[in-house]
């Protein structure tokens, strides 16, 4: 989030209770605003298509969006991790002229991957007719390009253009649906594609304002970013871990064959998506705590290491880093556990209020509980990123992926009572491993900084450089 946490911390400290509320609101908007806007738009669109379209046409729209959204996040996760790391390195070094080329290269790779995925999903598996196939593939491609472009604005603290772009895109879709009242799936998909095009165009225009230079192609950028493949692997494992249980349940009892060979599980899909929205308060807290307390403690330690401090002062600063981690972790778990408890108790009323299938109560409850541990894994991964330990991040999300897949397969035949268990198992496993890895690395952090993970000592060349020091 590029320093926004310090601004929120200053607001909270200087403006009393109103400042705390203001900081919390802005933190939620910055960390999850586009996600909230997208979720609201999806829920409204789903209700509209269900009431205005034939069931078969409604299934085409919903299936196309679910697959486009899910597959695009997996496609772009490694690309976004690599591109944003390369861009941040160049940004830190003052090489702003390199940013447009890095962005363009990432967009090209995302487009190619999306075209291949669209052909396999909507053409080969879905067997959609040509116009629907082209529109669904275009939506998948636009999603991928938006996921790539958005972080480049976060890097320059320009959060407002992101919200404006999402708002204008949603407004475009709404305008098309209100003016033309389409009932054919092709017209609805075209309206959605138009909205996504507006969002992407506004994002690119804002990026061009910050980085107006023409792309300058260079072939040595990847080589100048050590450990880049580990970053990509971490991003891919992260995205797969979130989606693997949903994908496996598309072939479980209760799932339906929606379009061609494409399957969905409407009950679990809606319940798990709603449960993941409970992550927003925790993400806001991570944004504030990690960007302030931990960042300051770690910066003080690095200052001692690079200055003239003796070993006693360095060890004192290292122990303060450990205390800060424990404090932030306890605060996060308590806050999110309280929210999960409310969701568990109020799940029947929430499901009824949103007019969702009552069988989704189990999936919603277990997902809300799993979010507590998912957030722990996220917070610990951020700390491992500070320590520059990409291999351990891959291990955290790889364990999430494997445990989630195993738990989902174990309860696959339990019906709706087993929804959410795989996600919960994966989150608990990842959180446990992440806490253990952070504790181990923090305990020997002085050694890692001076010797074990010091590029001047162990080297810094290669795409897998310093994978597991």
Tokens of 269: 């899909």
Q: What is the pLDDT of residue 2?
A: 44
How far is Cα 380 from Cα 334, in angstroms, rounded to an integer?
16
CB hemisphere CA count around 235 (13 angstroms): 22
Contact assessment for residue 375 and residue 286, using Cβ atoms and an 8 Å cutoff: yes
pTM comes to 0.89
Whole-number pLDDT of residue 293: 83
Q: Please state, rounded to an integer, the average pLDDT across all residues of the chain.
A: 86
pLDDT at 464: 58
Q: Are 428 and 370 in contact (CB under 8 A)?
A: yes
Overall average pLDDT of the 299-321 stretch:
91
In this prediction, residue 17 has a pLDDT band, given cuts at 50, 70 and 90, of very low
Tokens read off for 159? 């959060």
Across the range 277-299, mean pLDDT stands at 83
The string of pLDDT tens digits covering residues 82-141 is: 888 888 887 777 878 888 888 898 999 999 999 999 999 999 999 999 999 999 999 999
- Give the integer Cα–Cα distance in Å for 82 and 79: 5
Backbone angles phi, psi at 341, to 5 degrees: -65, -45
267 neighbors 416 (Cβ within 8 angstroms):
yes
Do the Cβ atoms of 289 and 380 come closer than 8 Å? no
d(CA 163, CA 153): 11
pLDDT above 90 as % of the chain: 57
- Whether 338 shows a pLDDT value over 90: the answer reads yes
- Kindly report the CA angle at 94 between 92 and 96, in degrees rounded to 5? 105
What pLDDT score was predicted for residue 436? 97
pLDDT for 136 equals: 97
In tens, the pLDDT along 1-15 reads 445 554 555 554 555
Q: How many CB atoms lie within 10 A of CB 254?
A: 16
**How many Cβ atoms are within 10 Å of 448's Cβ, its own excluded?**
18
Structure tokens at 121: 């999903």
Mean pLDDT confidence for 23-37: 62
pLDDT at residue 468, rounded to an integer: 77
Give the mean pLDDT of 280-299. Answer: 82
For residue 6, the model assigns a pLDDT of 47
330 against 13, higher pLDDT = 330
SS3 letters across the chain: CCCHHHHHHHHHHHCHHHHHHHHHHHHHHHHHHHHHHHHHHHHHHHHHHHHHCCHHHHHHHHHHHHHHHHHHHHHHHHHHHHHHHHHHHHHHCCCHHHHHHHHHHHHHHHHHHHHHHHHHHHHHHCCCCHHHHHHHHHHHHHHHHHHHHHHHHHCCCCCHHHHHHHHHHHHHHHHHHHHHCCCCHHHHHHHHHHHHHHHHHHHHHHHHHHCCCCCCCCCCCCCCCCCHHHHHHHHHHHHHHHHHHHHHHCCCCCCEEEECCEEECHHHHHHHHHHHHHHHHHHHHHHHHHHHHHHHHHHHHHHHHHCCCCHHHHHHHHHHHHHHHHHHHHHHHHHHHHHHHHHHHHHHHHHHHCCCCHHHHHHHHHHHHHHHHHHHHHHHHHHHHHCCCHHHHHHHHHHHHHHHHHHHHHCHHHHHHHCCHHHHHHHHHHHHHHHHHHHHHHHCHHHHHHHHCCHHHHCCCCCCCCCCC
At 221, is the pLDDT very low, low, confident or very high (cuts 50, 70, 90)? low
What's the confidence (pLDDT) of residue 48?
A: 87
The pLDDT value recorded for residue 27 is: 56
Supply the pLDDT for residue 7.
Answer: 54
Is the Cβ–Cβ distance between 145 and 137 less than 8 Å?
Answer: no
Residue 64 · residue 122 · CB < 8 Å: yes
Q: Measuring CA to CA, which residue among 258, 335, 269 is closest to residue 64? A: 258
Q: Is 356 left (phi over 0), alpha (psi -120 to 50) or beta?
A: beta
Residue pair 99/91 in contact (Cβ under 8 Å)? The answer is yes
Indicate if the alpha-carbon torsion angle 133, 138, 143, 148 is positive or negative: positive
What is the pLDDT at residue 367? 96
**Which neighbouring-strand residues pair with 257?**
263
**Domain segments of the chain as ranges:** 1-221, 264-449
- How many residues in the chain? 469
């Amino acid at each position: 989030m590029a320093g926004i946490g310090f601004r929120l911390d200053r607001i909270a400290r200087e403006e009393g209770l109103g400042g705390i509320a203001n900081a919390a609101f802005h933190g939620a908007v910055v960390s999850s605003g586009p996600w909230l806007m997208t979720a609201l738009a999806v829920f409204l669109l789903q209700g509209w298509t269900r009431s205005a379209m034939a069931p078969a046409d409604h299934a085409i729209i919903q299936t196309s969006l679910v697959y486009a959204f899910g597959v695009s996040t997996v496609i772009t996760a490694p690309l976004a991790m690599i591109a944003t790391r390369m861009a941040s390195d160049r940004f830190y070094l003052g090489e702003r002229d390199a940013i447009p080329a890095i962005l363009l290269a990432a967009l090209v790779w995302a487009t190619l991957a999306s075209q291949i995925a669209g052909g396999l999903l909507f053409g080969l598996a879905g067997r959609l007719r040509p116009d629907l196939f082209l529109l669904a593939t275009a939506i998948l491609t636009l999603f991928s390009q938006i996921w790539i472009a958005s972080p480049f604005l976060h890097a320059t603290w320009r959060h407002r253009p992101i919200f404006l772009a999402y708002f204008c895109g949603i407004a475009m879709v709404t305008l098309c649906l209100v003016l033309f009242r389409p009932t054919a799936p092709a017209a609805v998909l075209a309206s959605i594609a138009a909205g996504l095009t507006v969002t992407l165009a506004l994002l690119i225009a804002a990026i061009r304002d910050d980085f107006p230079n023409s792309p300058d192609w260079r072939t040595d950028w990847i080589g100048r970013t050590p450990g880049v493949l580990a970053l990509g692997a971490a991003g891919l494992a992260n995205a797969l871990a979130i989606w693997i249980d949903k994908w496996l349940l598309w072939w479980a009892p209760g799932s339906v064959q929606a379009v061609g060979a494409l399957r969905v599980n409407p009950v679990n899909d809606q319940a798990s998506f709603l449960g993941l929205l409970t992550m927003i308060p925790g993400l806001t807290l991570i944004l504030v705590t990690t960007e302030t307390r931990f960042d300051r403690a770690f910066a003080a330690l690095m200052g001692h290491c690079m200055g003239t401090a003796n070993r006693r002062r360095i060890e004192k600063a290292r122990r303060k880093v450990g205390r800060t981690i424990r404090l932030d972790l306890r605060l996060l778990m308590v806050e999110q556990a309280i929210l999960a408890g409310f969701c568990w108790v109020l799940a029947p009323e929430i499901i009824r209020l949103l007019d969702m299938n009552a069988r989704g109560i189990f999936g919603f409850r277990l997902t809300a509980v799993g979010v507590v541990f998912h957030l722990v894994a996220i917070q610990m991964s951020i700390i491992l990123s500070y320590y520059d330990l990409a291999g351990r991040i891959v291990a955290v999300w790889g364990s999430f992926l494997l445990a989630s897949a195993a738990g989902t397969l174990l309860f696959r035949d339990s019906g709706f009572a087993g929804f959410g268990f795989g996600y919960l198992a994966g989150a608990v496993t990842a959180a446990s491993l992440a806490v253990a890895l952070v504790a181990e690395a923090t305990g020997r952090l002085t050694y890692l900084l001076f010797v074990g993970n010091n590029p001047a000592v162990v080297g810094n060349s290669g795409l897998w450089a310093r994978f597991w020091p």
